[in-house]
Amino acid sequence: MEAQTAISFLAGLIGAGVGAYAVSYFKVSAQIKAHTNHIEEILDQKYLIKNKEESAKIDVVTNRLDDILKQQKAITGTNEAEKIDVLTAKMDQVVEQQKCITLTNELIKSDIENISWKRKESQIIRRQKIDEVYVKLLELQYIRGAYVANKTEYSSRFHELNTEVIGIIHLYLNNNDELHDEFIKFISIYNKTDELAEITCKESKTQQFSKFNNEEIAPFQSTILFRLRDLMKKELGE
């Protein structure tokens, strides 16, 4: 009987202890869970805060990059615009230079054409004058003798022919003194012929003119006509 009572008492103590332990366990478990949830909530909040901070940093960096890109685009655009302006200015300069070159070439071409035309015109005139003076010299071969023999009748034509020959040679056929010696000799013959025409003694005048003609006029006439033919060949390019 006492033994049963003791067992019952022990069983009661054990049951009470187990119950108390169970109650204590559940309380502790609840507290642990509450603390765990609180910690998780704190961690979640910290994660969110951290995530927001990182997002904010990323946004700042992104915005900064956008600003840099915009600035770079602006700088690049400005540089390109400046390059285009420089190239445009250079192109304008080249165009102006080309205009000047073209104008200069046109002027040179025009000058060359004018020079060529004037040269051709001069050649035509020289040919005409060579032919003209050649004919007048042939006429003078006859007029000299006639003038010496009859000064009054042939004076006008004699002086006219001599003046025309002198003018043609002096103005058109004396380039680089090409007929200088002939020109001087012609004037000398002209003056000497005029002096002979003044002689009153017909016989003496005839003798002196005949000698003068053979020794001076005839050789001169041959020389100057040959020189004129040579000049004409050069003008014709022969």
Residue 45 lies in a domain: no
The vertex-62 CA angle with 59 and 64, nearest 5°, equals 110
Residue numbers of the domain that contains 167: 117-236
Residue 127 included in any domain: yes
DSSP state of 177: G
pLDDT of residue 93: 83
The pLDDT assigned to 26 comes to 62
DSSP secondary structure of 104-137: HHHHHHHHHHHHHHHHHHHHHHHHHHHHHHHHHH
Q: Is residue 8 part of a domain?
A: no
Give residue 65's pLDDT.
73
**pLDDT given for residue 133 in this prediction:** 97
* pLDDT value of residue 1: 53
Instruction: Quote the CA–CA distance of 197 and 206 in Å, as a whole number.
Output: 10
Structure tokens at 38: 């609180």
pLDDT on residue 145: 95
Are the C-beta atoms of 219 and 209 separated by less than 8 Å? Answer: no
59 occurs within a structural domain: no
Quick check: is 81 in a domain?
no
Structural domain count, the chain: 1
* Whether the model pTM is above 0.75: no
- pLDDT at position 95: 79
Task: Answer yes or no: is 18 within a domain.
Answer: no
CA-derived radius of gyration, the chain: 67
Q: Is residue 218 part of a domain?
A: yes
Give the Cα separation of 78 and 220 in Å (integer). Answer: 88
Residue 186 lies in a domain: yes
Report the alpha-carbon distance of residue 194 to residue 155 in Å, rounded. 9
In which region does residue 177 sit, left (phi positive, over 0), alpha (psi from -120 to 50) or beta (all else)? Answer: left
The pLDDT profile of the chain, 238 residues, written as one tens digit per residue, is 555 565 565 556 555 554 555 556 567 567 667 766 776 777 667 666 766 776 677 777 678 778 877 887 777 667 777 877 887 888 788 878 888 888 787 777 777 877 888 888 888 999 999 999 999 999 999 999 999 999 999 999 999 999 999 999 999 988 778 899 999 999 999 999 999 999 999 999 999 999 999 999 999 999 999 999 999 998 888 7
Whole-number Cα distances in Å, 222 to 129, 141, 196, 218, 229? 18, 11, 22, 6, 11
In this predicted model, what pLDDT tens digit does every residue of 99-133 receive, in sequence order? 888 878 777 777 787 788 888 888 899 999 999 99
